[in-house]
A and B are shown apart, each in its own frame.
Chain A
Amino acid sequence: MLSANTLLIISTVCIWILLCINILLIIAGYIYYLKTEHATVHLVNKDYPFVSVLVPAHNEAVVITQTVKSLLSFNYPSDRYEVIVINDNSSDNSSELLENLKLNYPTRQLIIINTNARNGGKGKSNALNIGLKKSKGALIAVYDADNTPEQNALLYLVSELVQDERLGAAIGKFRTRNRLTNLLTRFINIETLSHQWMSQAGRWQLFKLCTIPGTNFIIHRRILEKIGGWDTNALAEDTELSFRIYMEGYLIKFQPKAVTWEQEPETLLVWFRQRTRWVKGNIYVIVKNTALLFNVKTKKIRFDIFYYIAIYFLLVLALVTSDLLLVLNFSGYVQTTVAGISSMLWLIAILLFITGTFITVTTESDEMTMKNVAIIALMYLTYCQMWLVVAAYGLIMYFIDSIFKRERKWYKTERFK
């Protein structure tokens, strides 16, 4: 049985290793940012491929009108793309709103698919598969029902995808539309920016790896059909899809100039449920693909598999273990005599977190402020600890669901006006 000292040393080492990996990703991500600032994207200006834009929607009456209008406003030839809204078993007035929209845009290729409890209501993956069947585009783009993409978003994605044969998909950047609503949305805004500029951009720069974020991305139809569409068992269908694209030997590239704006949770409960779904979904993907760590053909994606394992298992366990040991040590139930980690080191690590995160947000307008520095500092003490709770909870719930063979329910994120 491991002693308290050994456990503390192991968990501390794990935390330092992951911190070092993240530092590497921040540096790589920033280098990629500088590259994209100077790079010119050769936009497609002829032979526009036909794109089917899929929008899965379930009870999205609050936001769907605005979203569809944005999608219909792309700076992309209107006859070269269709918008397919899969109104998936909605009980609100989404279908009426969508029909009105169709009436208002009679010349546009706007297809509404209304599903019911029999053929729908089984989650986003199922809705997307339904949309895929109806679509005719050679390229498939996906947008969530709360998104308002910028006009050039589709054009950037298409251009990126068609000009590099290695790519199976291209992803854009998503921003938080309601980032100023409250402290939680500010936290989420910073989180999403740092994730994209650190994790996405950094992984692309180092390993040519990216993960589909679930919205604002584009993929070759032929690849989708080859891999059998979306996995209806996956709660994180985006991550799951990414791994299968890798398995086919394709890359997924991050194009930060393709921007969409989406609504993020404004309350803790909604946030907690959404993030729990993500955690459970990602763990499903990890468990499904762990064997690939030992598969020679998939050495390219080993970093991603290891990275996800490190985040969702190692880091969570290490943080929980070290926090628990700290509490038990103070209470006198265990004794740890490992006194070697200095306060100076902890302080520098915290400063690194703050500056590293701040670097990732300075890439965006209105974000390079001292207020954000303070928010990031506050995030360290609050939001990050909440994430730890979500991750631990999600981990436990995943295993409980697996042991008791519970149905994986898709929790629909609540929208706000």
Chain B
Amino acid sequence: MKRYKSLLLFLVASTLVFQFITPEYTQAGTLNHKKVLVVYDGLSFHTAHSDNVAYIVRQLTSMGRQVTLTDLAHYKSKTVNEFDNIVYIVNTENNNNLSGKFENDLIQYKGHFFQIGGSLISKYSNLLRLRTQVASGTTRMSVHDQELEQILRGSDTRYISDGKGTLLGRVSMNGQKTGSIGILNEHNHIGYMANLTNNLSLKLLVADLLKKWLSIKGQGAAYLTLTDITPFSNFKVIRYVAKELYDRGIPFIAVAQPVFSHLKSDAMLRYLNVLNELQSRNGALFIGSPVVYKTDVNDNQLLQRQMDAFINTLADHHIAPLGISSQNYWLFDRQYRKQGLGFFSAVINTENDAHLYWRDKTETALVKETQLFSLPFQQVVSLNLPEWAQLDLPMNTALTYSITHFKTMSSIKQFLKEIDTYPITINDFMRNDLETKSSRHHIEQKNGEIFIDGAPINHDILKQIELKKQKIQKKKSQKQIIFARQNRFLILLFSSVLVLFIVFLLISRRYYKRKYLKD
């Protein structure tokens, strides 16, 4: 008994002692695994790498990682120690831009490291025993068994000829395999992508690499997402497409733009009817983030009030908005996070526009419970995968398709055909557990069912709204009849008076001539 007691004491004591030992690795290991620091050397506008930083940030936030973004110039010493995972993006060809602070910190750093572009930092290059080559001229790179040709304009393409780890992304020159684009050493948690440009195959490859590097398990789900639905859209087309998808058993997400005024007008009611119908056809409704065109507004709560009013209006009509689709930079802005994204637990992360309207910028992005990466469906189709292949996306992805492209019946049919035949599995978003909260309503999606304030939504509501619409139309037509009659009566009356006035004018003319014009 005494022995066991001593053993127990020893175990407890050593646990306590070990608490106070602070080797860097252990310290790093107790940190939040979801935080990632992204450091970049420059944005390289107007080059093939200009999209790299934005894309990687969007990728990582879609993977549920809390991204902190900084460039080398603003990098603060010892920052790396706060993060388990560092992604270093090199956009310039010459990575002698490496800042002393960052390089020094990396020497001591024990966490996970991933570099994109440039020459891999020597510490990690040595660990991987990496050998790279630079190919000049036209290089063909095959990624995911797809041929893509990278046309070089006076610059060279770096690739990996050998290294210690899993090599991904075959590079071939003149039909001969020469090397790989990416490498991942899972044991040391080091990843390297020799080259990244604005090409979907490369982007999917780096996403795959990052996912493995972050030890994210499971395959990403793809969701068909119809976007740009507004009160001015062609509702007939929307209804038709929704019905076709429903009949084919293809679930989808519908992103509808919010309305902030005239919420009780007939036009709004028609819009709500369409959204309700989309919901009834197994569409998961998302709200598109409103277009920002100025930031110098006096009312700091305006966006929040407007979004709240719109969500309340939707919920009042048994329409459940399950998330929001917004540009990636909103996740980095405190005001947009609070006033726009704050209502939802799900976000579709879209590409940033050229011009960003910051209100309160931070370095660290918000992480939402459910985040989808957005990818235009047409881009995915352009990969031209063979029918036998199956495209597996590394992260949960909203495959977006704007309804503005449905200009003709043939374009609609083409879209439906692509959806039917493309080798990608479209998932049902309804399976996710989600929550939306406004000032008056609590919307939940649980176990495939949607609840508004605790009550499940009734898909037969479509019928009820139809009846309501008919009633309103009847009332409207009665009002219109009264006004039409009033109009006709007044037009008749006034026209008659006008004729009388013309007669008076003719009489006046005679009198006038007689009195004033005769000599």
Contacts and interface: CB of A to CB of B under 8 A. Distances in A.
A and B found bound together: yes
Interface of A: 16, 20, 23, 26-27, 30, 34, 37, 332, 335, 337-342, 344-345, 348-349, 351-352, 355-356, 358-359, 362-363, 365-366, 368
Contact of B508 (A27, A337, A338, A363): A363
Contacts of B265: 335, 337
A352 B497 contact: yes
Contacts of B504: 30, 359
Contacts of A338: 479, 483
A179 to B, nearest CB: 16
A249 B498 CA distance: 37
Interface residues of B, number: 31
Contact of B261 (A20, A34, A332, A356): A332
A194 to B, nearest CB: 13
B501 A352 contact: yes
Given A342-B487, A345-B490, A358-B505, 7 more contacts: A340-B480, A344-B491, A348-B494, A349-B494, A355-B498, A359-B501, A362-B511
Interface in B472-519: 479-480, 482-484, 486-487, 490-491, 493-495, 497-498, 500-502, 504-505, 507-509, 511-512, 515-516
Nearest to B262: A335
Contacts of B508: 359, 362-363, 368
A356 B501 contact: yes
Contacts of A340: 479-480, 482-484, 486-487
A359 B501 CA distance: 7
Contact of A362 (B484, B490, B494, B512): B512
Contacts of A345: 487, 490-491, 494
Interface string B253-267: 000000001101110
Given A348-B491, A348-B495, A362-B508, A27 B500 contact: yes
A248 to B, nearest CB: 35
Contact of B507 (A23, A34, A352): A34
28 contacts: A16-B490, A23-B497, A30-B504, A34-B507, A332-B261, A335-B262, A338-B479, A339-B483, A340-B479, A340-B484, A340-B486, A340-B487, A342-B487, A342-B491, A344-B487, A348-B491, A348-B494, A348-B495, A352-B494, A352-B501, A355-B502, A355-B505, A359-B501, A359-B504, A359-B508, A366-B516, A368-B508, A368-B509
Contact of B487 (A26, A37, A341, A368): A341
Given A332-B261, A368-B509, A341 B498 contact: no
A345 B497 CA distance: 13
Nearest to A23: B497
Contacts of B262: 332, 335
A365 B516 contact: yes
A171 B18 CA distance: 113
Report whether over half of chain B's contact residues are helix, strand or loop; otherwise say mixed: helix
Contacts of A368: 508-509, 512
B487 A335 contact: no
Contacts of A27: 497, 500
B492 to A, nearest CB: 10
Interface string B265-277: 1100000000000
B264, B500, B515 pick with most chain A CB within 10 angstroms: B500
Contacts of B487: 340-342, 344-345
Nearest to B265: A335
Which 8 A-B pairs rank lowest in CB-CB distance, beginning with the nearest?
A: A340-B483, A362-B508, A332-B261, A355-B501, A348-B494, A365-B516, A342-B487, A368-B512
Nearest to A359: B504
Nearest to A336: B265
A16 B487 CA distance: 11
Contacts of B483: 338-341
Contacts of A30: 504
Contacts of A37: 511
A37 B516 CA distance: 13
A34 B506 CA distance: 13
Contacts of B505: 355, 358-359, 362
A27 to B, nearest CB: 7
Nearest to B482: A340
Contacts of B491: 342, 344-345, 348
Nearest to A16: B490
A365 B517 CA distance: 9
A345 B512 CA distance: 31
A25 B427 CA distance: 76
B507 A365 contact: no
Interface string B224-253: 000000000000000000000000000000
A340 B477 CA distance: 11
A180 B51 CA distance: 71
A237 B336 CA distance: 64
A342 B479 CA distance: 14
B181 to A, nearest CB: 53
B507 to A, nearest CB: 7
A22 to B, nearest CB: 11
Nearest to B505: A359
B498 A348 contact: yes
B498 A351 contact: yes
Count chain B CB atoms within 10 A of each CB in A27, A342, A358 and give the residue with the most. Answer: A342
A337 B266 contact: yes
A363 B514 CA distance: 12
B183 to A, nearest CB: 57
A33 to B, nearest CB: 9
Contacts of A366: 516
A368 to B, nearest CB: 5
A176 B479 CA distance: 48
A34 B514 CA distance: 13
A366 B504 CA distance: 18
A348 B495 CA distance: 7
Nearest to B261: A332
A335 B497 contact: no
A362 B498 contact: no
A205 B154 CA distance: 97
A366 B512 CA distance: 9
A16 B262 CA distance: 28
The residue in A34, A349, A368 that gathers the most chain B C-beta atoms within 10 A of its C-beta is: A368
A363 B501 CA distance: 14
B112 to A, nearest CB: 52
Contacts of A355: 498, 501-502, 505
A310 B486 CA distance: 22
A403 to B, nearest CB: 33
A340 B490 CA distance: 12
A14 B507 CA distance: 32
Contacts of A20: 493
A331 to B, nearest CB: 9
Contacts of B509: 362, 368
